């Protein structure tokens, strides 16, 4: 028989040899040759050989068809192109892993293991060594020789089938087959071990030359044959020990080491026992096979991986249930937290019902016939660990969600807790999670809706744990002057935006807040608790989660009813709008006749120092003004609130500076007209009262001038006529300025703001907050525009510390200048009257002297007047001295005339200078004010500048924003005064009439 060349890998060849040997009849050549004659022995050997050859021909034919490139397999058979690579590479890697694990286990530092890895990588690159696995494994076994001997003794020999003495020849024939070139043998395949008789290399023939080796083998002694069999068994034991070491290393790294005693006691529990312990596992309780610690489940180390995976899945609900039970049993938190515990407790009871049902199924399955002896019978009943995992899947998801909710609810309360659970129901994509969150919300929101119902129907806040979004502050919210009123409306309740749940919107929350606050205000602030109780009995209904349409309808109805009742009470019972109109009439000077009468009656008293004013005098004058004006027709409730009083006194002030009117406001109207609002009214009144006082003073002076121009002033027109002409022009300018300022404040500011207030409070559905906001805007408008932006305080420059004047300061300065000019005009009028009186007396004396036959005025009187004019220093004395005889014994009034003329000249000069300076300063400041108003962003304030300078008479100059020194200011003032003086001189030149000397009027000869 020719040699058979195989292209299969060596390990595949060995496996096929074992397969053929098992399928064909095997016999021992050594034993058969002694029992049978040679002919029968040869026939038996030939038949055995023919069977083997037939088997190999079948395998070779299949292998050739698989290796045919034209076949569908394309020559890619069972490892043909990579012979031995799988087995060899795997063995090499396993040997290196064994060594590396041993080094890591025996050494505390990983340095030796790293060094071995470097050496191993270099070994793989060496092509010289072919049996790398054998070398590595040999070194590993030599390092642990004692462990190998013990393991070999425990195994009791090789785990492979015993090698029969007659099969020793197969090893030899296998080696002979390799030497005859039956097939190439890869160096990386390692030692091939096989006891198959199918490795006979050639056809057995009946020739003496071929049977000689068999005879030699049969002649071997029994001891030599046993020695070869033991050597083969030892080599096979080495290979099996390597595989066993690999498995032991993997188990050692996968699970903790156990003591020898524990390994002996440990036994793999059956699935029936695990099913019996499953109800305890699902409740987080320890059993005989499975033990729970604080947060973990300890599994037996001998369980297979599939069972470990199933038990891990089944242990999750048990651990979650254990944590949730601890949360449910606690008692901390508010009402919503307790409601959450109750909802979770219901879900846990449902879970326990599932566990009880599952336990009944398990007991029924374990009680079935044959369940104790055959685990398959339990599986036939339909109860397995896999099915238990499927049955508890939804419950596990529910427990997961509840556990997440419990973790998130640690630092949340009230609306925050509701918002968190509501987020799962609206933002999660799993329908199961959404449904469970909605179910929990139904229970959790019950305390919230109870508090909401009590708030919107009774106006009472029942929130012991501060979980509702309406809170009652313990301390004053701020020190803002607008919040100083200790009213039940502003300070009693606040809206906490952080506690507003996501199931309602911010606008909805504000509406709810207003409803409850209004009911509480009606009950305690307005004293109308009967209506609140009747409204609660009529409209109260149960509120629940999910009924959004009904909730919105209830809130809208409650909002309309409550707001309408509150506005009705403020208007009809407490006369809020009447008080607002009274404030406009009396404090904002809307009642003109009353203010005019009050000012006329108080003028004489207020000209005196402020410390000489008495309250009963002011009150009497106030009563007189009320009785004599249309104010008498107002209601008594309004009139009794009016009061006249003096502000804080300062040294040197007069009654005009400290007088004020006061309108008293009490609860609950002080919710709208707060103390801050009363202060704003007082501020505007003081400013308007000062403007009105200037107007009253200028009006009185103007009337006196107009009256005197037809009498007294006409007689002295030759001396003071130009002065009176300039004074009348200046007074007309000032009166024009005051009238335009009053018109702007009373009509452009106050009336326009009042119309806006009326429009705001007349809107349908107006609330008390709307009233408060509209009234606040009304006051801010009249104080900002009416006081010309007085809210902006004066600023200081960084270069120097001079402060810029605000509009209000400029107005006060202009008003002071106007009052000073009025005093100067009064002085000029007094001088004119004195001059008129002196002239009348002189005329009477001249007539008397003429009747006596003497000269009325002589030259000596004129010389005496010139001589004594330089010695007169007093200009304030206006009394007429006694008439005496002259030195020439002639009774002429020359000395008297000279003295009076000198004093009059000095007084007139000082009055002219004062009038000219005050007029120039008035125009200068007015130009500055008009220039600043022209650049204001507010349209009304720019319009004021246009009205005051409608004919471009003034030249507005914008005030410099950079601070100037006092010298520069004085220079600018003088320049403006000189400019005004030049204008007056030009006007005088245009007028042909001029001052004439009064001395020549009476010098006539008899």
Q: What is the pLDDT of residues 749-763, one digit of tens each?
A: 999 999 999 999 888
Q: Give the pLDDT confidence score for residue 241 in this predicted structure.
A: 55
Least confident of 397-406, 778-787, 960-969: 960-969
Banded pLDDT at 105 (limits 50, 70, 90): confident
* C-beta separation of 683 from 783 below 8 A: yes
Q: Which two tokens stand for residue 805?
A: 């004047």
The per-residue pLDDT for 775 is: 94
If one compares 351 and 486, the residue with the highest pLDDT of the two is 351
Q: Is the pLDDT of residue 422 over 90?
A: yes
User: Are 413 and 465 contacting, i.e. CB atoms less than 8 angstroms apart?
Assistant: yes
For 641, the domain range is 574-672
The continuous run of DSSP H or E covering 455 comes out as: helix 446-458
pLDDT for position 971 = 66
Q: Mean pLDDT, the chain, as a whole number?
A: 74
Out of 154-163, 517-526, 712-721, the most confident range is 517-526
**Inside any domain, residue 128:** no
Domain assignment present for 668:
yes
Give me the sign of the Cα torsion angle 222, 223, 226, 227. negative
pLDDT of residue 668: 87
- 620 or 254, higher pLDDT: 620
Task: Give 758 or 489, the one with higher predicted confidence.
Answer: 758
Within its chain, how far is the Cα of 675 from the centroid?
A: 33
Picking from 586, 768, 739, the residue whose alpha carbon sits closest to that of residue 669 is 768
Q: In this predicted model, what pLDDT tens digit does every residue of 868-894 receive, in sequence order?
A: 444 443 333 333 333 333 333 334 333
Tell me whether residue 273 is exposed, middle or buried, using C-beta atoms within 10 angstroms of its C-beta: 0 to 12, 13 to 18, 19 or more. middle
Our count of domains for the chain comes to 1
Report pLDDT digits (tens) over 312-345: 898 899 999 999 999 999 888 889 999 999 999 9
Q: Is the pLDDT of residue 774 over 90?
A: yes
Write down the residue that tokens 């099996």 correspond to: 240
Residue 227 Cα to chain centre, angstroms: 90
Average pLDDT over residues 861-869: 52
Q: Which residue would you say has higher pLDDT here, 64 or 565?
A: 565
Confidence of residue 187 (pLDDT cuts 50, 70, 90): very low
In the DSSP assignment, the letter for residue 587 is: I
3-class state of residue 998 by DSSP: helix
Q: Do the Cβ atoms of 432 and 397 come closer than 8 Å?
A: yes
List, in order, residues 6 or more apart from 198 with CB less than 8 Å away. 16, 17, 18, 20, 21, 24, 52, 55, 56
What is the mean predicted confidence (pLDDT) over 452-480? 82
Cα 925 to Cα 920: distance, rounded to the nearest angstrom: 9
Per-residue DSSP letter, 522: I
pLDDT for res 840: 81
Instruction: Give Cβ neighbours of residue 919 (< 8 Å, ≥ 6 apart).
Output: 726, 730, 821, 980
The predicted structure's pLDDT at residue 192: 34
Model confidence band, residue 25 (pLDDT cutoffs 50, 70, 90): low
In a domain, 192, yes or no: no
Task: Classify residue 952 by burial, with Cβ atoms within 10 Å: 0-12, 13-18, 19+.
Answer: exposed
For residue 724, pLDDT over 80 is answered with: yes
**Which range among 374-383, 716-725, 875-884 shows the weakest confidence by mean pLDDT?**
875-884
Encoded tokens for 230: 């033991």
Mean of the pLDDT values across residues 517-544?
89
Residue 780 lies in a domain: no
| pLDDT tens by residue, 935-970 | 888 888 888 888 888 888 888 887 655 444 556 566
975 in a structural domain: no
Indicate the angle between helix axes 393-408 and 305-329, nearest 10 degrees.
Answer: 40
The more confidently predicted of residues 400 and 977 is: 400
Burial of 245 (0-12, 13-18, 19+ CB in 10 A): buried
pLDDT at 490: 78
* Contact residues for 822 (Cβ-Cβ < 8 A; gap 6+): 697, 698, 701, 731
pLDDT (0 to 100) of residue 500 = 93
- Report residue 515's pLDDT band, with 50, 70 and 90 as the boundaries: very high
DSSP notation for 731-767:
HHHHHHHHHHHHHIIIIIIIIHHHHHHHHHHTSTT--
Asked if residue 641 belongs to a domain, the reply is yes
Residue 865 has pLDDT above 70, yes or no: no
Distances in whole angstroms, Cα of residue 644 to Cα of each of 45, 618, 663: 148, 6, 9
> What average pLDDT does the segment 361-375 reach?
73
Please tell me the distance from the alpha carbon of residue 19 to that of residue 952, in angstroms, as a whole number.
128
Cβ(810)–Cβ(928) below 8 Å = yes
Quote helix, strand, coil % in the chain, to nearest 5. Answer: 65, 0, 30
470-479, 493-502, 591-600, 698-707 — which is least confidently predicted? 470-479
Q: Please, how many CA atoms are within 13 Å of residue 178, restricted to the half-sphere of its CB?
A: 14
Q: Picking from 223-232, 609-618, 638-647, which range would have the lowest pLDDT averaged per residue?
A: 223-232
- Three-class DSSP category at 659: strand
What would the pLDDT profile of 831-858 be if each residue is shown by its tens digit? Answer: 888 888 888 887 887 788 788 777 777 7
Give the bridge partners for 663, in sequence order: 642
Q: Maximum Cα–Cα distance for the chain, whole Å?
A: 215
pLDDT confidence of residue 265: 40
Among 50-64, 91-105, 296-310, 346-360, the range with the most confident prediction by mean pLDDT is 346-360
Q: How far apart are CA 919 and CA 821, in angstroms?
A: 7
| pLDDT at residue 132, as a whole number | 76
Torsion, Cα of 939, 945, 951, 952 (10° steps): -110
Phi then psi dihedrals of residue 116, to 5 deg: -65, -35
pLDDT digits 0-9 by tens, 223-247? 544 555 455 455 455 545 554 554 5
In a domain, residue 607? The reply is: yes
Q: Which helix (H) or strand (E) holds 906?
A: helix 894-933
**Nearest CA to 928 among 954, 950, 908?**
954
> Tokens for 912?
């002219």
What per-residue confidence (pLDDT) applies to 185?
Answer: 38
The tokens of 716 are what? 């002295």
Q: Is 355 helix (H, G, I), strand (E, B) or coil?
A: helix
Tell me what the mean pLDDT of segment 364-378 comes to.
68
**Listed range (72-81, 95-104, 289-298, 925-934) with the worst mean pLDDT:** 72-81
Q: Among 360-369, 482-491, 508-517, name the one with the lowest average pLDDT.
A: 482-491
Mean pLDDT lowest among 603-612, 618-627, 864-873, 970-979 = 864-873
Examine the pLDDT at 29 and tell me if it is beyond 90: no
Looking at residue 524, what DSSP letter applies? I
- What does the DSSP 8-state code read for residue 128? S
Is pLDDT at 445 greater than 90 in this prediction? yes
For 33-76, what is each residue's pLDDT tens digit?
455 666 776 777 777 777 777 777 777 776 654 444 443 344 43
* pLDDT, tens digit (0-9, with 9 covering 90-100), for 142-159: 776 555 444 444 444 433
Question: Is the confidence at residue 822, as pLDDT, over 80?
Answer: yes
Q: Is residue 614 part of a domain?
A: yes
Q: How far apart are CA 331 and CA 341, in angstroms?
A: 9
Q: Is the pLDDT of residue 263 over 60?
A: no
């Amino acid at each position: 028989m020719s040699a058979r060349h195989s292209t299969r890998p060596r390990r595949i060849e060995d496996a096929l040899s074992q397969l053929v040997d098992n399928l064909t009849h095997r016999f021992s050549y050594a034993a058969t040759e002694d029992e049978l004659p040679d002919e029968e022995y040869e026939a038996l050997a030939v038949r055995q050989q023919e069977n083997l050859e037939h088997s190999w021909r079948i395998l070779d034919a299949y292998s050739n068809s698989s290796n045919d490139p034209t076949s569908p397999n394309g020559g890619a058979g069972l490892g043909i192109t990579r012979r031995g690579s799988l087995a060899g590479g795997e063995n090499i890697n396993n040997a290196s892993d064994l060594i590396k694990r041993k080094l890591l286990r025996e050494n505390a530092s990983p340095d030796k293991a790293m060094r071995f890895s470097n050496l191993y990588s270099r070994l793989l690159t060496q092509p010289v060594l072919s049996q790398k696995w054998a070398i590595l494994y040999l070194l590993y076994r030599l390092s642990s020789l004692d462990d190998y001997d013990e393991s070999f003794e425990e195994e009791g020999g090789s785990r492979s089938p015993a090698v029969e003495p007659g099969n020793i020849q197969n090893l030899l024939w296998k080696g002979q087959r390799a030497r005859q070139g039956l097939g190439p043998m890869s160096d990386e395949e390692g030692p091939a071990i096989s006891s198959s008789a199918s490795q006979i290399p050639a056809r057995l023939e009946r020739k003496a030359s071929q049977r000689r080796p068999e005879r030699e083998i049969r002649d071997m002694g029994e001891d030599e044959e046993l020695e070869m069999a033991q050597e083969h068994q030892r080599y096979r034991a080495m290979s099996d020990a390597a595989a066993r070491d690999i498995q032991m290393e993997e188990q050692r790294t996968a699970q903790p080491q156990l003591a020898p005693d524990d390994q002996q006691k440990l036994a793999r529990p059956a699935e029936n026992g695990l099913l019996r312990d499953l109800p305890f596992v699902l409740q987080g309780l320890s059993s005989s096979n499975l033990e729970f610690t604080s947060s973990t489940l300890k599994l037996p180390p001998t369980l297979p991986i599939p069972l470990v995976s199933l038990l891990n899945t089944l242990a999750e609900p048990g651990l979650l249930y254990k944590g949730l039970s601890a949360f449910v049993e606690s008692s901390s938190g508010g009402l919503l937290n307790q409601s959450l515990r109750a909802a979770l407790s219901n879900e846990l009871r449902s879970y326990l019902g599932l566990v009880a049902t599952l336990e009944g199924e398990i007991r029924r399955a374990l009680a079935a016939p044959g369940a104790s002896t055959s685990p398959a019978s339990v599986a036939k009943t339909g109860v397995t660990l896999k099915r238990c995992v499927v049955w508890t899947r939804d419950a596990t998801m529910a427990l997961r969600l509840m556990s997440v909710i419990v973790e998130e609810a640690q630092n949340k309360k009230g609306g925050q807790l509701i918002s968190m659970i509501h987020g799962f129901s609206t933002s999660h994509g799993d329908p199961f999670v959404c449904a469970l969150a909605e179910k929990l919300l139904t229970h959790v929101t019950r305390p919230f809706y109870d508090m909401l119902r009590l708030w919107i129907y009774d106006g009472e806040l029942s929130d012991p744990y501060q979980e509702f979004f309406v809170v009652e502050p313990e301390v004053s919210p701020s020190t803002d002057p607008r919040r100083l009123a200790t009213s039940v409306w502003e300070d009693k309740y606040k809206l906490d935006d952080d506690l507003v749940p996501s199931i309602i919107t911010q606008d909805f929350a504000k509406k709810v807040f207003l409803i409850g606050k209004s009911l509480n205000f009606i009950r305690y602030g307005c004293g109308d608790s009967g209506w609140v109780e009747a409204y609660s009995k009529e409209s109260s209904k149960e509120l629940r989660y999910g009924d959004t349409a009904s909730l919105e309808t209830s809130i809208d109805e409650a909002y309309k009813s409550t707001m309408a009742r509150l506005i009705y009470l403020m208007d009809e019972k407490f006369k809020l709008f009447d008080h607002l109109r009274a404030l406009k009439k009396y404090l904002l000077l809307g009642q003109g006749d009353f203010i005019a009468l009050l000012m006329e009656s108080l003028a004489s008293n207020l000209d005196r120092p402020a410390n000489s004013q008495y309250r009963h005098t002011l009150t009497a004058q106030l009563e007189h003004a009320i009785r004599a004006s249309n104010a008498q027709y107002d209601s008594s409730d309004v009139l009794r609130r009016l009061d006249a009083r003096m502000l804080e006194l300062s040294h040197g002030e007069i009654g005009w500076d400290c007088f004020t009117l006061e309108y008293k406001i009490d609860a609950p109207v002080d919710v709208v007209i707060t103390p801050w609002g009363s202060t704003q009214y007082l501020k505007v009144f003081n400013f308007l009262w000062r403007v009105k006082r200037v107007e009253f003073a200028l009006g009185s002076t103007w009337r006196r001038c107009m009256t005197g121009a037809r009498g007294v002033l006409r007689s002295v027109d030759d001396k003071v006529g130009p002065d009176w002409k300039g004074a009348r022009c200046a007074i007309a300018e000032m009166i024009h300025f005051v009238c335009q300022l009053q018109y702007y404040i009373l009509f452009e500011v106050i009336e326009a703001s009042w119309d806006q207030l009326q429009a705001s409070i007349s809107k349908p559905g107006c609330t008390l907050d709307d009233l408060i906001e509209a009234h606040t805007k009304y006051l801010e408008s009249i104080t900002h525009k009416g006081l010309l932006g007085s809210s902006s305080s004066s600023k200081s420059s960084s270069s120097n510390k001079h402060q810029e004047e605000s509009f209000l300061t400029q107005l006060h300065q202009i008003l002071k200048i106007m009052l000073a000019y009025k005093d100067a005009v009064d002085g000029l009028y007094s001088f004119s009257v004195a001059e008129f009186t002196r002239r009348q007396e002189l005329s009477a004396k001249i007539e008397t002297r003429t009747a006596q036959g003497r000269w009325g005025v002589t030259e000596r009187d004129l010389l005496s007047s010139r001589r004594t004019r330089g010695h007169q220093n007093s200009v304030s004395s206006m009394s007429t001295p006694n008439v005496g005889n002259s030195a020439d014994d002639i009774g002429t009034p020359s000395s008297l005339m000279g003295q009076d003329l000198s004093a009059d000249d000095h007084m007139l000069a000082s009055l002219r200078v004062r009038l000219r300076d005050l007029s120039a300063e008035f125009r200068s400041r007015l130009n500055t004010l008009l220039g600043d108003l022209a650049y204001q962003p507010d349209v009304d304030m720019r319009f004021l500048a246009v009205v005051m300078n409608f004919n471009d008479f003034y030249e507005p100059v914008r005030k410099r924003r950079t601070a100037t020194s006092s010298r520069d200011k004085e220079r600018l003032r003088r320049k403006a005064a000189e400019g005004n003086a030049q204008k007056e001189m030009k006007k005088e030149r245009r007028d042909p009439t001029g001052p004439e000397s009064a001395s020549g009027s009476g010098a006539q000869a008899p």
